[in-house]
A and B are shown apart, each in its own frame.
Chain A
Amino acid sequence: SQQGEEDPQALSIQEGENATMNCSYKTSINNLQWYRQNSGRGLVHLILIRSNEREKHSGRLRVTLDTSKKSSSLLITASRAADTASYFCATDTGGYNKLIFGAGTRLAVHP
């Protein structure tokens, strides 16, 4: 079963613009992770944020976590055409590090 929802389902922007994707989940978590998936390919791990963290940066990525609202956001700054992909959040609720994925956001960055 899926843990939560992501919005928007699809996002289309121009190169250079920022892209923000949101993820909501239902149960308490140990950590939340963001992944990228190019069409028909495997997953690429982007960033992990622990439940006691509120914000984390990695290059052009910024992730926030609000455990009181059970939500997280992923911001990609200065987007590039190569950022075109699907982005998924995944929650680790504890126990064997099992991940439950959100529905995903399909991002299209136009040159």
Chain B
Amino acid sequence: GAVVSQHPSWVICKSGTSVKIECRSLDFQATTMFWYRQFPKQSLMLMATSNEGSKATYEQGVEKDKFLINHASLTLSTLTVTSAHPEDSSFYICSAGDKSYEQYFGPGTRLTVT
């Protein structure tokens, strides 16, 4: 089956620094990737839709200048959390879709901002 990887799996950073999270589709091309955020014991909240070669589409309430998304190729999308604060600590999950309806999810990245 299709595999999506995320790197890093976990990261700890200091408040005010920026953190980049990578999402890769390993064995298929993904024209669209999605970024979700999940707080403890809560559901996944869609942050943005990332389209290869174009600007990301952000959901209402998500700051595009704080969460920078770059979809540079058909197999790679990156999410950069800029000037991170403790309230940005969360589990970030990406997914990628091929031509079918199914989404393939990455294993997630746990971000802790101290």
Spell out A's residues near B (CB within 8 Å).
Answer: 1-2, 30-31, 33, 35, 40-43, 45, 48, 50, 88, 92, 96-104, 106
List the A side residues contacting B105 at CB < 8 Å: 35, 42-43, 45
Q: Find out whether the CB atom of B108 lies under 8 angstroms from the CB atom of A41.
A: yes
A97 to B43, CA, bound (A): 18
**Interface size class of chain B, counting residues whose CB lies under 8 Å from the partner chain:** 20 to 34
* Distance in Å: Cβ of A4 to nearest Cβ of chain B: 10
A97 touches B32 (CB 8 A): yes
Interface of B is mostly: strand
Q: Does B97 contact A97, Cβ atoms closer than 8 Å?
A: yes
User: Contact at B43–A103, with CB atoms within 8 Å?
Assistant: yes
Docked pose: A44 CA to B45 CA in angstroms: 17
A33: which B residues are within 8 A, CB to CB? 101-103
Contacts of A48 in B (CB 8 A): 101-102
What 0/1 pattern do residues 38 to 79 of B give for CB contact below 8 A with A?
000111111001010000000110000000000000000000
**A-B contact sample (17 more), CB < 8 A, given A45-B102, A45-B105:** A2-B43, A33-B102, A33-B103, A35-B105, A42-B106, A43-B105, A48-B102, A50-B101, A88-B43, A88-B44, A96-B49, A96-B51, A98-B34, A98-B46, A99-B34, A99-B103, A101-B46
